Every structure is written in structure tokens, then in C-alpha cells.
Amino acid sequence: MAASNLPYMKTNPKIIFFTDFDGTITLEDSNDAMIDNLGYGRDKRREGNLAVLEGTMSFRDSFRDMLDSIKTPYNECIEYLKKNMKLDPYFVEFYHWSRENNVPIVVLSSGMIPVISALFEALLGGKPDGHLYIVANEVESRDGKDINSEGGWKIKYHDDSHFGHDKSLEIKPYAALPDNERPTLLYAGDGVSDLSAAAETDLLFAKKGKDLVTFCERQGVPFTLFESWESILATTKDILAGKVSVKKVAQEGLDKVRAGVQLAIFASFVTLLVVVLDNRFRVLPASIHGHLPSHYNGLVVTDVTVVTCSSVNVFSSCKPNPQTAWSQVEKDLYLRTGWTSSAFVRFERKKEEELLASDQVVIDLKISRLVPEYSDKPGDEKETWEQRPGGIWLKRTAKRHASDSQKAITAVDVLFGADAVDPRIGWEVKDTPLLLDSRTEALEARISVRRGDPTKTKKPVPRINENGRFKIMQLADLHLSTGLGACRDPVPAESVAGQGCEADPRTLEFVERLLDEEQPDMVVLSGDQVNGETAKDAQSALFKSVKLLVDRKIPYAAIFGNHDDEGDLSRLELMTILEDLPYSLSRAGPEEVDGVGNYYVEVLGRGSTQHSALTLYLLDSHSYSPDERQFRGYDWIKPTQIHWFKNTAHSLRNKHHEYTHMHMNMAFIHIPVPEYRDSRNYYRGNWSEAPTAPGFNSGFKDAMEEEGILFVSCGHDHVNDYCMLNRDHEEKPSLWMCYGGGVGFGGYGGYGGYVRRVRFYDFDMNPGRVMTYKRLEHGETEARIDEMMIIDGGTVKGPDPEL
């Protein structure tokens, strides 16, 4: 066919850009979104994909089955997609550049033309210009029905090929043109269905992390990776300007991926080698061993000591010899306060099967200036006490099977503070601090030991009580330190006259009293559990925040604030600890989503049902603004988090609709969203300081309303404790936005005699009501402050007229 007769050649372009649509131009696949949320769901869709990969079903038949599961009228499907689909943010820029530079865009899709056209019109702000073409499947009526009726539409395939649309057929006439007439043909895609089309073009842009990259690498097909249309635009500009050849770009892309694969294989080999060597020679540092999983069962401690080292003494080493069985707790006993000296606890640990006849197993450890007394209890071991530095006394035994006993010490850790506690099962903090010198005594460095095998804790499953009630206690801004901590702005200055004020004991006494009086079914720790500035050992502070909950077997979920990771542990390190603690529901969340701690918790309905009655969404609101010049103050919920939240809410919706009783959604964050500042709204409670919400509004409040969140609760601003009602465009109540109120005496207070407080949410699932109130540390300690109903009949309730 002559070039002049081909539709995309009418402007005589130098480049034609062919592209897939779903997952390439859009951030997610529109068909998958409909199937997962309006059809039979993600699990069955994945089963269909697997059948195609295994060759037991054609793509054409599998895809038709998936779309046939969608009974929603076609016009409603379109509206759903308009509301939830997003374009790659750089595609719009590419679209305008291509029009200005005579580069036709041809969308070749396995989707449906009306869907793609509607999305382009909505997301580009109008109908696409004539330089953008769409070649895809169509939609037709099912059994003569109106397509806008329930079950009234089905897909009409473009051709009879395996995929229902052989994309290569559209490109072949252009690929067959003589060299002097043929333009450069480019293609962007992400899936296996793009392979046939890509083979006809000069350069393939393959989306990073998708199936197309794997197939191209295996088959040696040249390509270049892209993560967004930003890089596609830059490369296409260079090709059009003659700065680079397509052959060079493609080969460089393939070489990069191959190098990455080789590096990954090498890294896997090194990791395997290190693990093998570690089993034999202990080459990994003790800080890693402290978090090793259960396959390290069978290790017993045979000796414990304290070593000191100096940064100015070349003969002094702060690391154990890797050729020995000695490990080290990677915590400086001076908490990095020594100018040149450091001290560490070391312990020798061996596998039970490798114990020699001369080896002795540690069965007891005490800290004392004098020799500990011997027990007169029948059955207690009579071995002698052996002295080690730092006031450590060990009782060891060489008796056969001692390593199998629950008396055998199997792990050692170090915590700090006179109030140090260890919530881990099987662990015990020693009463006396290490007696190395006056500095370690002042810092209260304490040894914690574990006896027996590590206990794998089973995650709790929160459930509505048989009476239909469920109570959540929100602990906002505990601000716990390493050690007792200093009180800031305490009201009153002393809880008991003459006893002074120690921040953490007073905070935890308050929390303990309310735990016992209110008996909550679940606790949400909404950030700033750790006061990073005064928590030189963040683990010790974090342990204090949950010990009272573990002792009472109360499930809890935690997120972080802007102070938690200002100590010696990052957010991820803190969450790694939390995830393994008893009764913890906390999770790091998806790696591809910004932040640490984006997850949800389902509270099951009463009885034995496996259906959820409540869903709690918890999101990381980060810390300080990444752009202080433009948006001063604090960070905001990011687009990836909002995308995750909306997708998660959609994926859970069908399951929640199966529940025959009422279901409710709520959310917890640390830093308030900007709408907390709107003083035009009704609010009840204390507004004692300006809300320090982010300067940039990322739209999370709107997303919560769209997904049916009934209330959101935050912390951060310690002396604000109000609940504010937001209304929709019809002036109907749409969302309550509450503060928890500051709990901890280690954080700021003051502001006109503000008393520390805790917020509760009391659910009664029978009428679908939620009451919220606060309890005080001082003054009206028995009262439910500002008690009000915020949810009634499962919907947001406005204030009573008398309020």
C-alpha cells in the first residue's frame, strides 16, 4: 500500500508512536479495576490469568469470562472509571508535544474504544485531537438488551486472533514501507499482548517491573525501560532531533537489564554464601542475629561478658572476632556519650548439636556487686556463680540435656532506664543495671535475657463482642523517652505533692488507670510514641508504649509521627520490631507506597462470622515538609498512599457488602489534614492552638469522603482535642475529623492549664452508633468529657440542636 493511503502518514511524520493504553498510559489497568471491583474479584481474575499462562485457556476466552462477570450497566462502568483512573502525569505533556511536532499517537489496546475515548476526554480535559488514534475492541449489546441496563453489554473483539486484537496487524503496513518513505516506528507497552506489535517497530519502551520486560530479556528483544512518560518524552525528543539512534537506545536498554539480572544472581549467591558461612563461623553482626527468624532455633548461650574499647587505641576493637562464636549486642552501654570509649555486651552462642563436652550452658544471670545467694529450693541447680565484668554473675552447667531446658538462656539484649520493660514473650529484664562504672549506672543499662526457644506469636483477630459493642482507645503523642523522661508543662505540676514529676511513669500510670477502668477492645497508637530527641535507645521507649497492652492481651495498631524516628531507629526498624511483638496488628504496608505503616485492620463481626464489621485504615502522615520554601511545616499524604487507599477500599467493598449486618469505615493518621483548620465548620472540644496541618493539600479528605470513611482521628497538636464536622456540597454531614488529645508528659502541654487526656470511640453495632468522649488525667477524672454521638444508623450524624 502506498504511504499516502495510510491514515497515519497523511501529515508525512518522521515518527509514529504506537502505544498500549491500560497500565501504560494509565497508572492502572481499567479492565482489571472493573473486574476486581465490579466483577467477580481479583482472586478469580488471577486464576484466569494463570490459566492463560499455563495454556489451558486462550486469552480471548479468559478475558471474555472476566468481563462477563461485570453486571454493572455500561454507563455506570464508565463513570466508575472516570472517577478512579489516572493518567501517567507526564503523558499529557507528551500528548501536547507530539501534536506540536507532528508525531501521531496510535493507541492499540485490548480494551474497548468507548472506555478509552471516555477516559481520554475526562482526563485530557476534552476530546483528543486528530493526531491521536484509537484502535481497540468494541462494545455490543448482550441478547438485545440496552447496554446501559444490568448485564446488558459484552465485548466485541476486533479480530479473530488469540488475543481478540492482534496489535501487530495495525503496524505491519507501516513497517513494510520502503526505507525512503518509512517513518521511525516506536512502541510503548507493559504486557505480553504487546510483543507481536513491538516486533514490528524500531524501538520498544517496556515498563519497568512488568511481564513484557521479562519476555524481551529472555528472547533477546532490544528495548529500553521506562517508569513514566517523562523518560519516553526525553528519548523521543532526542530521536526526532537526531541526537541518538533507536538501535543504540534499544541495545543499551537490553544491556542494562541483563547487567541487573547478573547482579541480582550474584547478590543471591553472596547472600547464600554468607548464610552458609554464618551457620559455621558467625560472620553476621549481632544486630542482625537479634532479629533472625525462627530457623535460628537451637542456639544456646554459653557465656556473657562486657568489653570496652577505645577509638584512640589501635589495639582495641569494638567488634568481636568473626572466627569465633561470640556475638555482640550493638548498643553502646554509654549511649554514645563517651568521647573516645565505648562498651558492649557480648555473648557466646552455639548450636545445641555442636556443643562440646567442655562447653557449659548459661542457665542463670544476675547483676550484683557481691556473689549472689544460692537458692535452697529443691531442684534448683547448685552450680557455682562465675563473675564477669559489669557486675555480671553467671550460673553455667555442663549437664547433659541442659540445653533442652527452659532454664537455658538462648538470647541476650540490652535495654536502658530504671523503668525498662520487655514485652517479648519469654524475655526478662534484670532488676539491677550493669555496674561497669558510674556512667552505665546513671544510664541504667540493663540486660534482658530470653529463656528457651523463641515463641512465635499468633496475630490476634479483633472481633465485635457478643453484645454488639466494641471500644477503641486512641493513645496520641505518648512522647516516651529512654529512661524516666522530664515533664513538660505538667498540669498540675505534681500529681502527688512533694513527689516531683517524672514524665514516663506519670504518663503510663494515667494510661494504666484508663485501661483498667475502660477495658478497651483495641488500642490505636496514633504516632509520636517515641520522643526521638530524648530516646537515645528508641527500642526501650517503644517497648514501654506497648507493655501495658501486652500484659492485658489487648490488640493494638500503631502508626508513626514526626518524632518517632528522630532517635537511633528509622521508621522501618521501629515497625520491624512492632510487627513481631505480641498482640500487635501493626504492619509496614506495601513497599511501593510512600511511608511506613500504610495498612488496614479488619474487626470481624460477632460470633463466628469471617465478615468484617469495622475497617480501620491507618496511614503514615510522614514528618516535615519536603519543600520548606513553598510549603512550610509538615508533610502530607502522598498520591501513592491515596491510590493505595482507594484501591484497597474498592477491593474490600464487595466483601463488605456480603456482610448481612452494618459495616463501618474509619481512619487514623498522625498529622491532621488541612481541612482541620476550617473554623467555619461546627466543632466541639478545645481548639487551643493553630492546627499544624500541611501547607499543601493532597486531597486525602476528599478521598476519605468518597470511600465512605465516617470519621478520621489524628494527634500531633497536643492541646487540640476537638471533633469537627465536615459537610458535603449538599450541606449533609459527611465526615467527622477528630483529635485524640495529647497523652504524654514528655511532650509539650500548657496552653491555659490544659490537662492530659485520652479519646475513646465506643461502637454499638446494634443501632450502628458511635459515641466518642475523652478522659482526663487530673480534675474530672471520672467524667466523660464532651461525650457525643458522631455516627447513627451507620451514617455520619450532625450535632444535636442543643449543642
- List residues with catalytic annotation: 20, 22
Interatomic CA distance for residues 28 and 80, integer angstroms: 14
Half-sphere exposure of 327 (CA within 13 A, CB side): 26
Let me know the angle formed at the C-alpha of 769 by 648 and 784, rounded to the nearest 5 degrees: 115
Radius of gyration, CA atoms only, the chain = 32
Contact 654, 41 (CB under 8 A): yes
How, if at all, do strands 341-351 and 299-310 pair?
A: antiparallel
All residues at 6 or more sequence positions from 44 whose CB lies less than 8 Å from its CB, including other chains: 66, 69
Q: Sign of torsion, CA 397 398 403 409?
A: positive
Phi, psi at 352, each rounded to 5°: -55, -40
Supply the angle between the helices 74-84 and 30-38 in degrees, to the nearest 10.
Answer: 110
Torsion angle of C-alpha atoms 325, 331, 337, 339, degrees rounded to 10: 30
Tell me how far apart the alpha carbons of residues 289 and 69 are, in angstroms, rounded to a whole number. Answer: 50
Shortest CA distance to 409 belongs to which of 431, 392, 428? Answer: 428
Q: In one letter, which amino acid is 736?
A: W
Report residue 746 as a C-alpha cell.
Answer: 514528655
Phi, psi of 236 (to 5 degrees): -65, -40
What's the rounded Cα separation, in Å, for the pair 525 and 12?
A: 63
Neighbouring C-beta atoms of residue 422, cutoff 10 Å: 20
What does the H/E/C string look like for 5-35? HCHHHCCCCCEEEEECCCCCCECCCHHHHHH
**Residues of the chain by 3-state class (helix, strand, coil), percent to 5:** 30, 25, 45
Helix 30-38, helix 59-68: angle, nearest 10: 50
Q: Crossing angle for the helix pair 211-219 and 246-281, nearest 10 degrees?
A: 100
Place of cell 487507599: 645
Residues 464, 661: Cα–Cα separation, whole Å: 12
| Cα separation, 178 vs 6, whole angstroms | 13
What contacts 795, CB < 8 A, 6 or more positions away?
710, 733, 768
**709-714 β-sheet, strand order:** 599-604, 612-618, 664-668, 709-714, 733-739, 723-727, 683-684
